[in-house]
Structure 1
């Protein structure tokens, strides 16, 4: 079996094609002349994906194909990986905010990943690039004073660590273990993005940027004291493709970060300056940390925020920029692009 399609283009499987990061990866792969196959949980999502890509200038879909496959089932993963040179594994189970048992988040993440990796290995895939997360790097570290790097792993023994961060850490660790013990020479690289911003491609957008919409609409009156890195989705996509093609990237993790750290109030202030028309809607108050922690006991939506308020969040972009020659926009540019796209598409009411 050769790892090319009929027109001799290298085939890349991108899992979870309707996601925010995945669509941008598919877009750049098509622009660079790859054939792309993507998985969707339901074939009803195909039109949404095509709409996103058309909005970005893709006119011809001859090099794009779809397979219905779900991380919770073995069905069709052999078909999805068949003939692929590379797999970019972006799909992950939707995080449950109101879980009763942490295993509800952790098990599906690990099991789904191993399903994809087994199918990729059996199909003779050369390299898998895993979309991991900053959550697999920073959580559970106390009194940190130096920027987080790819050498860091979340501390799963820490008391106050959210199951979402545990699921991201355990699934990435399971991936590396699989490569080492059962990979049969298949290569791997991981990309660990901080908060992903950047242009939303259609009104059926991912929920990763819902906080920007809510701020602009005046739905958020005050903000928790949470620092974060932010990175543009277009740069996250380009880093995945560098991690896929660069010989140096095999066996490596890469933080997708600009190396800047912003508070949520910094984000609000960037929006205030860039979009004066919405200035009166934007929050000006910060919620004390202890208030967030108490509120989280009663509101499951605040549980993850409560574990990171007041926490250290500096990161380094050095490895990706020096090893792979990756370049990125500023965090400010990414945040403005998110808001501008939402305004242009009529998402902000």
Structure 2
């Protein structure tokens, strides 16, 4: 007697059209899940399907629903038959808005809608894409020890901008919702730093814009802006494994492979694309401070100039069962992808 093949588990993935969301979808499909991806407009669905198909995914197990972080419409229906929630959708901008609530409101309210609908539907495990921004800011600049899952950004500290506040408030709200439901053990937060790595389509995402600017000449000199780099492939795999790894529940996973200044990143980009005119000249701090008098976004990074932060990623390494991909490889992959996709 032939036993029926069990139906694969269904995962609701918010933000599937994003850089990270696409890689998470790819990992879920490769693992055998049915993926129900949310987009703000269903018109985006075919482009996402084509992108994942080109990457080698079996898109026969791919579904789409239309959801908005600022609307109650559709959330209950989207959770029908869903076993796991991957909530990667959140606003991320380069130019900070004048009204910080343009970032904070969709981040927090979107988290509330996603988690409350998941709890109502009895979803077993929720994986939330948070950020290093919820861990490592508003602290003393003199701190040298790595930031861990026990650390939280101090929203009353210096240099906390609207994006940092939005990520911190959204993650804190997620834990609050799960505590109130007595289901803290069913939430996992992934807290990545700046995400680089191969692109799935012509959309460079947000973090890759930093590499794009080094390649296209829009950055004439190199300020001492610090970055902690992590690869999108590691972050996506961590999301997938966190769904079913028992001791991942109730925990946060900081993820960053290496801390470096923009000048160091430029050296790697230059090596990966030797025919491109990547800037070499350092920009002194005084020049950055002068420029900040006329640019609100630059003012937001002044407190971080030259401050190299480190994340304790040992828990993420244990979750993956291997070391993180080297930051040099992530930067190189981003550089090659930007050129191959003719984005620069």
In 1, Cα distance between the equivalents of 2:320 and 2:340? 34
Q: 1:121–1:183: 8 Å Cα contact kept in structure 2?
A: no
Structure 1 alignment gaps of length 5 or more: 1-5
Q: 2:185–2:250: 8 Å Cα contact kept in structure 1?
A: no
CA change 1:120–1:326 in 2 (3 A) is farther
Partner of 1:90: 88
Alignment of 1:1-349 (within 5 A): 8-58=7-57, 60-95=58-93, 97-142=95-140, 143-182=142-181, 187-258=186-257, 260-278=258-276, 281-322=277-318, 325-348=321-344
How far off its partner does 1:93 sit?
2.3
How far off its partner does 1:7 sit?
6.1
Q: Which moved more, 1:288-297 or 1:135-144?
A: 288-297
Q: 1:126–1:186: 8 Å Cα contact kept in structure 2?
A: no
Q: 1:129–1:189: 8 Å Cα contact kept in structure 2?
A: yes
Query: What are the Cα deviations for residues 24-75 of structure 1, in whole angstroms up to 9, with x where unaligned?
Result: 00001101111000100011211221232122112x4220000000000000
How far off its partner does 1:111 sit?
1.2
How far off its partner does 1:84 sit?
0.9
In 2, Cα distance between the equivalents of 1:145 and 1:327? 22
Q: Which moved more, 1:18-27 or 1:206-215?
A: 206-215
How far off its partner does 1:256 sit?
1.7
Query: What are the Cα deviations for residues 82-136 of structure 1, in whole angstroms up to 9, with x where unaligned?
Result: 1111101000024473433333322221111101111000111001100000101
Q: 1:133–1:194: 8 Å Cα contact kept in structure 2?
A: yes
In 2, Cα distance between the equivalents of 1:330 and 1:210? 19
How far off its partner does 1:232 sit?
1.0
Q: 1:248–1:323: 8 Å Cα contact kept in structure 2?
A: no
How far off its partner does 1:326 sit?
4.6
**SS of equivalent to 1:9:** coil
In 1, Cα distance between the equivalents of 2:240 and 2:124? 14
CA change 1:263–1:183 in 2 (3 A) is same
In 1, Cα distance between the equivalents of 2:118 and 2:289? 42
How far off its partner does 1:274 sit?
2.2
RMSD (Å) for aligned C-alpha atoms: 1.8
In 2, Cα distance between the equivalents of 1:297 and 1:76? 45
In 2, Cα distance between the equivalents of 1:215 and 1:45? 29
**SS of equivalent to 2:300:** helix
In 2, Cα distance between the equivalents of 1:330 and 1:184? 35
Equivalent pairs, count: 339
In 2, Cα distance between the equivalents of 1:169 and 1:97? 19
Q: 1:16–1:90: 8 Å Cα contact kept in structure 2?
A: yes
Structure 2 alignment gaps of length 5 or more: none
In 2, Cα distance between the equivalents of 1:223 and 1:252? 37
In 1, Cα distance between the equivalents of 2:80 and 2:245? 22
Q: 1:140–1:159: 8 Å Cα contact kept in structure 2?
A: yes
**SS of equivalent to 1:276:** coil
